[in-house]
Amino acid sequence: MNVHDDARGDPQRGWLSLAGFPLSVAALCLTLLLPKLVLTRFASERMFTPYDVWETTLALQQDLLVAALAGAGLLALGQGATRLRWIGVGLGLGSVLFLLLVDLRARELWLKPLDLGMLGYLWSNFGDLRSGATLFFNHNAGLGMTFRRMLVVFGGLYGGLWGLSYAALFLGPRAAAPAAGGSRRRVGRRVAGGVLAALFVTSACVSRQRYRIDENILVRPAVNLVRDLAQGAGGQRELAAAHDQRARPLSEALTSPRVLVPEAPPFRNALIVILESARWASVDLEGVGPTLTPTLRRLAGEGLRAKCYVALPHSSKAYYAILSGRHPFPGIDMRESLSEHEPSLMWAARQQLQADVSVYTSAYLAFENTHGLLAALGVERRVESGPAQGEEASSFGRSDAPLYAMVPPALASGRRPFVSCVINLGAHYPYGYPGKPPTDGEGLQAYERVLAHADAQLGDFVAELSAAGVLDAETLLVLVGDHGESFGEHGSFVHNNSLYEEEVTVPLIFWSADGRLRHDAPLVAQQIDVAPTVADLLGLEDGAWRVQGRSLLREGGAPIYLTTFFEGVGQALIEGSTKYLYEPDSGRLVEFDLAADPAEERPTEVEGATRAAVVRRLQAFRAYQRAAFPD
């Protein structure tokens, strides 16, 4: 049946057909905007300063374009739609709404916009990830609803609006509408085309909001292509050449005199333990009273300790920085894993020491292709631990108990020398620990309790390693956090996109059984310093391995560069006690005096020549790192 087949009927039902159709179209288009509105509210409450009306409008540009295209298509289709075609369009737009809702949930949990790469990853690793369905569907997703309920509510709203438009068009006679003149139709088409073009241009030109919240999974590819072409690549090579922390051969990084442990013989083995979500603000290595982490405090007091700055507050990026001695790619792309050979501590140990090189972990290595990343860094054996008895697995991995039981006998019976890495998961979100009550939630209290539990497990692990003869005088033990955590100190929660101290500082400890590394004063370090320092202690001198970090045993210092997981959200530069925070979207640059204001509560706007110089250095860093990992 064609909607023009019957133009008879009573005036009231005809009016419903004529007026109800455009009203239904408008309602359906508004439905497509709901996911982004929920996401902006989530971002306002959980991530950073609230969006005002203007910022929300900017963030809606691409979604407004989708809604306008949907509305224009429906209005055009309404001139001659059949029942079957109308049902097909309804199902298609329902799929669009579902995709936007899934994109909303992906950003809430992982702070990532959904893209084809993530869809491919989900499909390829569905077996590992299906255990996360409870987290994905049953936890709060905004508006006081779980995501499961949100799907039902939004789906019901969409179905009701679509049913209204169906009823208006097909159920009952339709009154004849006066024919519009050809010139009026042409004007209407031109106006509609102009609106769509304007929306596309504003979508391409608007500054990216934090967390790329303004991007829409359906529009983003075309808009970003136009945006990139408009920005161009002019001057990027010159900027990269001006960067002041370029990679240099390891031999050059080890030329200055040793000022710490100057005459100690080299270690034969190294064990690096990467501590999940261990933030400096909560471990308290310097105090004398009660502490959440007595194991870490004891090891720190018996060795060399440092307040360590991450390169980028994200786990897989931290693995790269720790093992390679270089900054990772400044964005969510895992370009570090695309190479077959990324020069690193592991490759140097294999080639110069003929060491056995391995990684043991309780995390899922399928996540973000960590398998590929570790292989590129030269790790020969990559071993995932099994689940504990009766354990409910998560999307992230398993508990640490099986990991800690597996490693001591494996290293004790394995080939020497060895350079091994243990990646635990104990303090990972959502901060579960034995006996955790449902009321404990996922806030700071739960985090600190799980951190204390993880430290107790670590203490037992170190004791088992010693009992197995692994931690003898020939073995260097290194403990380092992958990233910190935010709990609303500066308006942000979890990690990835804040560069305040609670999120970008972690503990770093070098320890040996014979006490040769003991040093009273804490140092300031970076994750990119770990590999050069370990190489120094192992006696490695690989000339082909280029690093951006330095050995902490030697004279010298370097500025500290930080960047967020999502490119364009934030950058930081630290020199001495001065810390600069830069937001590329807004162009805002502030500075903190960390000595006088360690909580970063008193920002000062930076203007003039100082601002220009700092911004140029940060831009040069970004250009240099992007050039190191070509598309």
Helix, coil or strand: residue 411 = helix
* Stated pTM of the model: 0.78
Q: Is the pLDDT of residue 121 over 80?
A: no
Helix, coil or strand: residue 452 = helix
Query: Do residues 305 and 522 touch, judged by C-beta distance below 8 A?
Result: yes
Q: What is the pLDDT of residue 185?
A: 65
Ranges of H-type helices in 442-500: 444-467
Q: Is the pLDDT of residue 233 over 60?
A: no
Q: Is the pLDDT of residue 11 over 50?
A: no
- Binned at pLDDT 50, 70 and 90, residue 316 comes out as very high
Question: What proportion of the chain, given as a percentage, has pLDDT over 70?
Answer: 87
- Binned at pLDDT 50, 70 and 90, residue 219 comes out as confident
Q: Is the pLDDT of residue 8 over 90?
A: no
Q: Is the pLDDT of residue 164 over 90?
A: no
Give the mean model confidence (pLDDT) for residues 391-419: 89
- Give me the chain's average pLDDT, please: 86
What would the two tokens of residue 609 be? Answer: 């020549």
What would the two tokens of residue 321 be? Answer: 């920085």
Q: What is the pLDDT of residue 536?
A: 96
- Binned at pLDDT 50, 70 and 90, residue 27 comes out as confident
How many helices (H) and strands (E) would you count in the chain?
22, 17
Q: What is the pLDDT of residue 483?
A: 96
Q: Is the pLDDT of residue 627 over 70?
A: yes
Q: Is the pLDDT of residue 13 over 90?
A: no
Residue 5 identity (one-letter amino acid): D
Q: What is the pLDDT of residue 123?
A: 72
pLDDT digits (tens, 9 = 90+) for 509-528: 999 999 999 999 999 999 99
Tokens 């690989």 appear where?
542
Q: What is the pLDDT of residue 14?
A: 43
pLDDT digits (tens, 9 = 90+) for 59-109: 899 999 999 888 888 877 766 677 888 888 889 999 999 999 999 988 887
Q: Please name each of the domains of the chain with its CATH number.
A: 11-231 (no CATH), 239-628 (3.40.720.10)
Report CA 277 to chain centroid distance, whole Å: 13
Distance CA 119, CA 123 (A): 6
Q: What is the pLDDT of residue 5?
A: 43
Q: What are phi and psi for residue 346, nearest 5 degrees? A: -65, -45
Determine how β-strand 269-275 pairs with β-strand 475-481: parallel
Q: Which of 466, 533, 426 is nearest to 298 (CA)?
A: 466
3-state helix, strand, coil split of the chain in percent (to 5) is 50, 15, 40
Helix, coil or strand: residue 55 = helix
* Better-predicted residue by pLDDT, 145 or 135: 145
Helix, coil or strand: residue 574 = strand
Q: Which of 44-48, 263-267, 452-456, 585-589 has the lowest mean pLDDT?
A: 44-48
- Which residues are within 8 A (CB) of 134 and not within 5 positions of it... i.e. 6 or more apart? none
Distance CA 409, CA 411 (A): 6
pLDDT digits (tens, 9 = 90+) for 251-291: 998 989 999 988 889 999 999 999 999 999 999 998 788 99
Q: What is the pLDDT of residue 227?
A: 65
Q: Which of 197-201, 493-497, 544-548 has the lowest mean pLDDT?
A: 493-497
Query: What are all long-range contacts of 385-394, with beta carbons under 8 Å and residues at least 24 apart?
Result: 385/360, 385/361, 392/131, 393/131, 394/131, 394/132, 394/135, 394/432
